[in-house]
Chain A
Amino acid sequence: MFSYKFQWNQAFARLPQMLDGALITMQIAILSMVLGILLAIVLTVFRRSGSRVLSGIATSWVEIARNTPALFQIYMAHFGVATFGIHFNPFTSLLIGITFNNAGYLAENFRGALKAIPETQTRAGRSLGMTSNQAFGYIMLPQMLRIAFLPMTNQMVWAILMTSLGVTVGMSTDLYGVTQALNALTFRTFELFALAGVVFYVIVKLIQFAARLIAMRLFRY
């Protein structure tokens, strides 16, 4: 028999706490994106370096990040490294896990974006006396980031949603963690998680809107 009585006001009363959690969620996602983009650029440079060691590191990173569950990656960043005596708090572990995932996916996006830029762009830069690093940094990189902007937005959305995996490593301050804790306290499972779902949805929409504004501002060509 269906005998559950919805008590939405119980959930709404907790909304301020959940919004505090949402801020932590956004903080992790933004940090993991900034770090992820920087690392993905490093991985891209590694892959183009011609060094077998460096490109091996980059390829392994991308392979693991893209072909294993994000949950596994976050678990490893917490319990996995703990085996070797390295102990991170849940926030750090979650951040490392998501950053690892972001960097792997973004590096692959960047590779595709670079392929879309004609090689003659580099040649034009080199002809003007630029070093290969200058040609990459001033000519290829900006165009690469523009082409990969949409995939980067997607990855940002994915980073927001991945924060929900933090509960598995004891994260209790982000949106999902807060909701989980409130559920344990009140047992208003459906109401709380439905509300959390709505908050996630709104955050993602806000990010997509912000991305559109940024794109308009940055890419006028």
Chain B
Amino acid sequence: MIEIEKVHKSFGQLKVLKGIDLRVAKGEVLSVIGGSGSGKSTLLTCINGLEPIDSGRILVDGTEVHAKSTDLNKLRRKIGIVFQQWNAFPHLTVVENVMLAQRKVLGRSKPEAEAEAVRQLSHVGLGDKLKVYPSRLSGGQQQRMAIARALAMSPHYMLFDEVTSALDPQLVGEVLDTLRMLAAEGMTMICVTHEMKFAREVSDRVAFFHKGVMAEIAAPAELFGAPKSEELRAFLSATH
């Protein structure tokens, strides 16, 4: 379970998160929507400890992320994250990209890591691209590779930070299909997304962020069907 309690976070003068309270249960798929600058992406980087927080606390399976005693490198093994920019490691082949952290972080043997990499890459439809360098892949393929790379660490949670925002429109579908597949398999996921249709279909709940505040959170039918706040109504009409 991911528990977020009264989290405040600012970059200098700019308050990005203003008291976020949120719980994500095991197996849940939560989508986070909202305008840019609403703090939704920042929340993800706070959950895996890439960003410090000013106050409040975040617990992942009961471990406080920002406590001094927490071994972040160990905690991050539980939390996979995929970014808008997929960050393929250009000097490694696709299969090596997926093997690297398994070998160095989890200490898996080469055959073990390779078997898992092949399994995950086949899972996301890249089984025929193992020995290729990322520069030869399309954006959608690189993004799926990044997803496989995160999944190969056997995470308990997956965080997706606008993973389709940097893609050409015709490549968005293949990445969303991968996310749908993971959701169907029961992976606990937080998806920051601009894909409303996807959020509506896949999520158990959808949260709407506005100016650093979680303005609304509800089941998708309710949130999209009967938005309570003026901000959400404005946001939805602008994105439709």
Docked Cα-Cα span, A27 to B106, in Å, equals 42
Which residues of B come within 8 Å of A, CB atoms? 48, 50, 73-74, 76-77, 80-81, 83, 85, 87, 89-91, 93, 100-101, 104-106, 133-135, 146, 149-150, 153
- Report 28 cross-chain contacts, Cβ distance below 8 Å, ordered by A residue: A120-B83, A120-B85, A120-B87, A121-B87, A121-B89, A123-B83, A123-B87, A124-B83, A124-B89, A125-B89, A125-B101, A126-B50, A126-B73, A127-B48, A127-B81, A128-B101, A128-B153, A129-B73, A129-B74, A129-B101, A129-B153, A131-B73, A134-B104, A138-B104, A139-B100, A142-B91, A143-B90, A221-B93
Docked Cα-Cα span, A188 to B89, in Å, equals 57
Chain A positions 127 through 159: 1 when the CB is less than 8 Å from some CB of chain B, otherwise 0 = 111110010001100110010000000000000
In the complex, the chain B residue whose C-beta lies closest to that of A221 is B133
Contacts of A97-138 to chain B: CB distance below 8 A: 118, 120-121, 123-131, 134, 138
In the complex, the chain A residue whose C-beta lies closest to that of B86 is A124
Docked Cα-Cα span, A84 to B219, in Å, equals 79
Residue A217 CB within 8 A of the other chain: no
For residue A127, which residues in chain B have a CB less than 8 angstroms away from its CB? 48, 50, 76, 80-81, 83, 150
For residue B100, which residues in chain A have a CB less than 8 angstroms away from its CB? 128, 138-139
Residue A220 CB within 8 A of the other chain: yes
**A128 in contact with B149 (CB, 8 Å):** yes
Docked Cα-Cα span, A20 to B133, in Å, equals 44
In the complex, the chain A residue whose C-beta lies closest to that of B136 is A221
With contacts A121-B89, A142-B91 taken as known, whether A129 is within 8 angstroms of B76 at the C-beta atoms is yes
**A128 in contact with B85 (CB, 8 Å):** no
B137 CB → nearest A CB, Å: 11
**A124 in contact with B105 (CB, 8 Å):** no
Which residues of A come within 8 Å of B, CB atoms? 118, 120-121, 123-131, 134, 138-139, 142-143, 146, 220-221
A139 CB → nearest B CB, Å: 6
Partner of A221 from the list B77, B104, B135 (CB cut-off 8 Å) is B135
Docked Cα-Cα span, A130 to B101, in Å, equals 7
**A221 in contact with B74 (CB, 8 Å):** no
**A129 in contact with B77 (CB, 8 Å):** yes
B136 CB → nearest A CB, Å: 9
For residue B101, which residues in chain A have a CB less than 8 angstroms away from its CB? 125, 128-130
Docked Cα-Cα span, A13 to B159, in Å, equals 74
Docked Cα-Cα span, A139 to B90, in Å, equals 9
B76 CB → nearest A CB, Å: 4
For residue B135, which residues in chain A have a CB less than 8 angstroms away from its CB? 221
Please give me the 7 A-B residue pairs with the lowest Cβ-Cβ distance, nearest first.
A124-B87, A128-B101, A221-B133, A129-B76, A129-B105, A129-B77, A127-B81
Docked Cα-Cα span, A128 to B50, in Å, equals 11
**B76 in contact with A128 (CB, 8 Å):** yes
For residue B146, which residues in chain A have a CB less than 8 angstroms away from its CB? 124
For residue B76, which residues in chain A have a CB less than 8 angstroms away from its CB? 126-129
For residue B134, which residues in chain A have a CB less than 8 angstroms away from its CB? 221
In the complex, the chain B residue whose C-beta lies closest to that of A145 is B91
Docked Cα-Cα span, A134 to B100, in Å, equals 10
**A134 in contact with B87 (CB, 8 Å):** no
A136 CB → nearest B CB, Å: 12
Docked Cα-Cα span, A131 to B105, in Å, equals 8
